[in-house]
A and B are shown apart, each in its own frame.
Chain A
Amino acid sequence: MKILKTLALLLTLVSTTAYALLEVTIIKSEGNAFPIVISPFEVVGNAEQGATIANIIRDNLNRSGQFNALSSSNVITNKIDFSYWKNQGKDAIVFGKVEQISSTVFNVTIYIYDIYTKKRLYGKTIEVHNSGIRRISHFLSDKIYNILLGQKGAFDTRLSYVTVTSDKVLGKIYQLEISDSDGQNARAVVKSPYPILSPAWSPDQNKIAYVSFQNGRSEVFIKYPFMRVKPIKIPQFDGISSAPSWHPNSQGLVLTISRKGNKDIYFYSLKSKKLDRLTKDVAIDTEANFSPDGNSIAFTSNRSGQVQIYIKDLTSKKTKRATFEGRYNAKPVFSPDGKALALIHRVGKDYRVALLDIKTRDLTVLTQNKLDESPYFSPNGGMIIFATNRNNKGVLFVISLYNNQIVELAQKGVEVREPSWSNYSN
């Protein structure tokens, strides 16, 4: 059953920064999701965040595609009418309390109950600073996800993406932005009149590698988004430098560098500051992505005459072709378990996100779009974020691999593109 519903995000944000938010819309939803009730958190003292926390949790769970979360109209405390919620078809209930301790410190308490067994599944009180209300909401969302589904959630993580604004006077403005996993709390870390592409979070979340044309040609930079230091430029030769992807240890990255016209994959070590050539082919080799164990890379190459994906084992130095279906497969990214690749697959005249089982070579096309680009897995592997074109405008889609639910992240009058998802926070 397909339900079309729109979630208007009317969050009272604790953060007062005036950055443009991504508007979140569920544009395709499937049934069979876990039915759950989220009560507004009980507020003790001068704490206004009770509803905020509950709303963030509800929207997070719904965005995953694995939950059908509804807010209860009344604040639920210790007295739970289990039979009422059972009749409403709900399986679990979440409620809690926000208690002010000082002007800036709060105690947040959460309870998760199973409606059928009437048992408490989880209960905890956490002390949190005022500025951490959003963060604690994401943390608690991950807890609920984990307790009810037995899997790791991916809510307490970040996104990076590029926005393009067309200004009548200034022309195009490209911004590299970072936000929470729900597109909220966004801020620009790089702003430029020149194109920016391929931002990628380092797994330790300290750095973002990206491509900028600020010097008239494509160059790879490393930005420390939480430090006041200038971006570092990766050395290159006489041609393009692009397509960075981090090693799982965050101490190096693979990228495409053109030397005497030949585009190959190189590894750059932040420690030794040296470049190591990983592929040697006269064809285009680009869009490399490290496997989660760091032992191999998947990349795009037209060495066969067609654009296809290859996997190189960095220990045995052997390269194998990974895609055999269709004439265009590009931009591979490994799933967090290393067993699958998300990629862009050409179907007729359309370019769509597809999922490749590396072992069986089964290819599943996930969308019906025309111009999909830049897929990226959520760190728990449950979702893929990618860029596409909707109503002639660049937007981000998040597709749930659980039931193909699609959520749109868009910004009014602004192109949004080139998403990447961070790893878990430490």
Chain B
Amino acid sequence: MIKKIILITSVALLSSCAGTTIQDVGDKFLNLINPSDPVVEVADLGESEIILESEYVIFSEEGLALLSDEELIQVAKQQGIESMVILDSDGNLANREEIVSALTQFGTVARLSDEELIQVAKQQGIESMVILDSDGNLANREEIVSALTQSETAARLSDEELIQLAKQQGIESMVILDSDGNLANREEIVSALTQSGTAAETLEDGGVSFILYFSYDDTEIDEKATQIIIEHANFMMNNPKLFLRLEGHADERGTREYNLALGENRSLSVKEVLGLYGLENRIEVVSFGEEQPVAFTHDEEGWQKNRRVEFIYQK
């Protein structure tokens, strides 16, 4: 699978960068793509938007240093690590260095092979997020790269910073302090932040926070999946006003009506675990069967992405 990152920057962003010419900003972005190469091609800046596209956008510290705080936040958003951004009381970026380092890390991680990525994911305790297709290849490379970027960075944070992030992400209840007031379960928090990062990010717009995948004609929740659902249970207990909609889906194989029933059973399996925490009244179960696929190829790679339960938090 080839990873494609497309940077789309609107004029609105460009014009918000006071004191820089549009040409400057354009150069900055070109520099970002490949800082060591001379600028060979300048995008038509008269266009209403600048689209820079390459197989890999490799981030270097030098390239990122050229960006303003706003631009950096924008790039962080694009790379799915928006949740790491900390703003001070004036709304300015409080942890610029951290974001630059995270994005640099992103560049490094993005260059890893699938096997290396899986290895690193294991080391970082986010093995459960790895999805393999029927050929044993990594099916969700982008997701893993983004998670690892967050995990690597989170690992470098101080205890205080970690606790602060945990508060922001609503997993404060997981924080355990020892008798001296120090963080006692650092590793757990790092791993939780890495995985819940995605959940919290999209919360505001009611989008899909998390997707749990299933085997063919299967509704079983294995141990790893149970762990993840327990994290969601904790998250819900810490956010008592949130409701969770569980949308069950099936792949296209077999009949539509049976798949509709199967999708409901998948959602119900998840609800059962959450029910152990007394959350059943805040959960809505829905099935779409095979009617709303996310992958459209008629092969195992596509099918396995479609056998899923989507977690959608609602206020």
Question: Which of B22-30, B79-87, B105-113, B284-292 contacts the other chain?
Answer: B284-292
B240 at the interface (CB under 8 A from A): no
Within 8 A of A (CB), among B234-283: 252-258, 260-262, 264-265, 268
Contact indicator A242/B257 (Cβ below 8 Å): yes
Select which of B261, B265, B268, B285 is within 8 A of A256 by beta carbon.
B261
A263 to B264, CA, bound (A): 9
Q: How far is the CA of A120 from the CA of B286 in the complex (A)?
A: 63
Q: Which residue of B lies closest to A300 (CB)?
A: B258
Chain A contacts for B257, CB-based, 8 A: 197-198, 242-243, 256, 286-287, 300, 331
Residues of chain B contacted by A198 (CB below 8 angstroms): 256-257
Indicate if the CB atoms of A240 and B261 lie closer than 8 Å: yes
Most chain B beta-carbon neighbours within 10 Å: one of A242, A256, A418: A242
Mask, B110-133, CB within 8 Å of A = 1, is 000000000000000000000000
Instruction: Give A195 to B292 CA distance when docked, in angstroms.
Output: 8
Interface residues of A in 182-211 (CB under 8 A from B): 195, 197-198, 211
- Contact yes or no, B258 A331, CB < 8 A: yes
Residue in A242, A261, A371, A373 whose CB lies within 8 Å of B268:
A261
Q: Is the CB of A328 within 8 A of B287?
A: no
Q: Report the bound CA distance from A418 to B285 in whole Å.
A: 25
Contacts of B254 in A (CB 8 A): 307, 328, 330, 344, 346, 351
CB–CB A218/B287 < 8 A: yes
Identify which of B217, B255, B285, B289 contacts A374 (C-beta below 8 A): B255
Contact call A392/B298, Cβ cutoff below 8 A: yes
A197 to B252, CA, bound (A): 14
CA distance A240 to B248 in the complex (A): 11
Is the Cβ of B256 less than 8 Å from the Cβ of A286? no
Contact status B261-A263, CB under 8 Å: yes
Within 8 A of B (CB), among A403-426: 418
Which partner residue on chain A sits nearest B292 by CB separation?
A195
Interface size class of A (residues with CB under 8 A): 20 to 34
Q: What B residues does A330 contact at CB under 8 A?
A: 254-255, 258
Of A258, A300, A371, A373, the contact of B298 (CB 8 Å cutoff): A371
Q: Which residues of A contact B255 (CB under 8 A)?
A: 287, 300, 330-331, 344, 351, 373-374
Q: Which of B258, B260, B268, B298 contacts A389 (CB 8 A)?
A: B298
Asked if A239 lies at the interface with its beta carbon under 8 angstroms from chain B, I say yes
* Interface residue ranges of A203-252 to B (CB < 8 Å): 211, 213, 216-218, 239-240, 242-243
A298-317 vs B, CB cutoff 8 Å, 1 = contact: the mask equals 00100000010000000000
Contacting residue for B287 out of A240, A344, A374, CB 8 A? A240
Residues from chain B with Cβ under 8 Å of A243 in the complex: 257, 260
- Which A residues are CB-close (under 8 A) to B262? 284
Other-chain contact of B285, A213, A239, A307, A370 (Cβ < 8 Å): A239
Neighbouring A residues of B261 by C-beta, 8 Å: 240, 242, 256, 258, 263, 284, 286
Closest A residue, CB atoms, query B263:
A240
**CB atoms of B298 and A218 under 8 A apart:** no
A195 touches B258 (CB 8 A): no
A243 CA / B261 CA spacing, docked (Å): 10
B217 touches A307 (CB 8 A): yes
Is the pair A373, B264 in contact by a Cβ cutoff of 8 Å? no
A283 to chain B, nearest CB (A): 10
A295-346 interface (Cβ within 8 A of B): 300, 307, 328, 330-331, 344, 346
Report how far A216 CA is from B254 CA in the complex, Å: 23
Q: Is the CB of A374 within 8 A of B265?
A: no
Task: Assess the B287–A197 pair: CB atoms within 8 A.
Answer: no
Question: Do B256 and A284 touch across chains, with their CB atoms under 8 A apart?
Answer: no
Please pick, from B253, B265, B298, the residue contacting A284 in the complex, using a CB distance under 8 A.
B265
CB-nearest residue of chain B to A387: B256
Q: How far is the CB of A176 from chain B (nearest CB, A)?
A: 14
Once bound together, how far apart are the Cα atoms of A373 and B259, in whole Å? Answer: 12
B264 touches A239 (CB 8 A): yes
A418 to B287, CA, bound (A): 18
B256, B257, B258, B262: which has the most chain A beta carbons within 10 Å?
B257
Q: How far is the CA of A1 from the CA of B265 in the complex (A)?
A: 48
CA A110 – CA B146 in complex, angstroms? 74
Q: Which residues of B contact A418 (CB under 8 A)?
A: 256
Closest chain A residue to B271, Cβ basis: A261
- Bound complex: CA of A216 vs CA of B285, how far in Å? 11
Cα–Cα, bound, A300→B264 (Å): 16
B83-100 contacts to A (CB < 8 Å) = none
Question: Which residues in B have their C-beta under 8 angstroms from that of A374?
Answer: 255-256
Q: In the assembly, what is the distance between CA of A328 and CA of B255, in Å? A: 10
- Chain B residue numbers with a CB within 8 Å of A373 are 255-256
Which residue in chain B gives the minimum CB-CB distance to A260? B268
CB atoms of B291 and A284 under 8 A apart: no
Known: A195-B292, A197-B291, A371-B253. A240 touches B258 (CB 8 A): no
Q: Report the separation of the CA atoms of residues A180 and B162 in the bound assembly, to the nearest whole angstrom.
A: 67
> In the complex the two chains form, is A287's CB within 8 Å of B258's CB?
yes
Closest chain-A Cβ to B65's Cβ sits at a distance in Å of: 40
Write out the residue numbers on chain A whose beta carbons fall within 8 Å of the beta carbon of B288.
195, 213
Residues 17-45 of chain A, each 1 if its beta carbon lies under 8 Å from chain B, else 0: 00000000000000000000000000000
Q: Which A residue's beta carbon lies closest to that of B300?
A: A349
Does A261 lie within 8 Å of B298, measured CB to CB? no
A256 to B260, CA, bound (A): 10
Residues of chain B having any CB pair with chain A under 8 Å: 217, 252-258, 260-262, 264-265, 268, 285-289, 291-292, 298
Q: A243-B257, A307-B254 are in contact. List 17 more A-B contacts (CB 8 A).
A: A195-B291, A213-B291, A216-B286, A239-B264, A240-B261, A240-B264, A243-B260, A263-B264, A284-B258, A286-B257, A286-B258, A300-B258, A351-B253, A371-B252, A371-B253, A371-B298, A373-B256
Give 24 pairs: A residue, B residue, CB < 8 Å, sorted on A. Answer: A197-B257, A197-B260, A217-B286, A239-B264, A240-B260, A240-B287, A242-B257, A256-B261, A258-B261, A258-B264, A261-B264, A261-B285, A263-B261, A263-B264, A284-B262, A286-B260, A287-B257, A307-B258, A328-B254, A331-B257, A344-B255, A351-B254, A374-B256, A418-B256
Nearest 5 A/B pairs, CB to CB = A195-B291, A331-B255, A243-B257, A284-B261, A330-B255
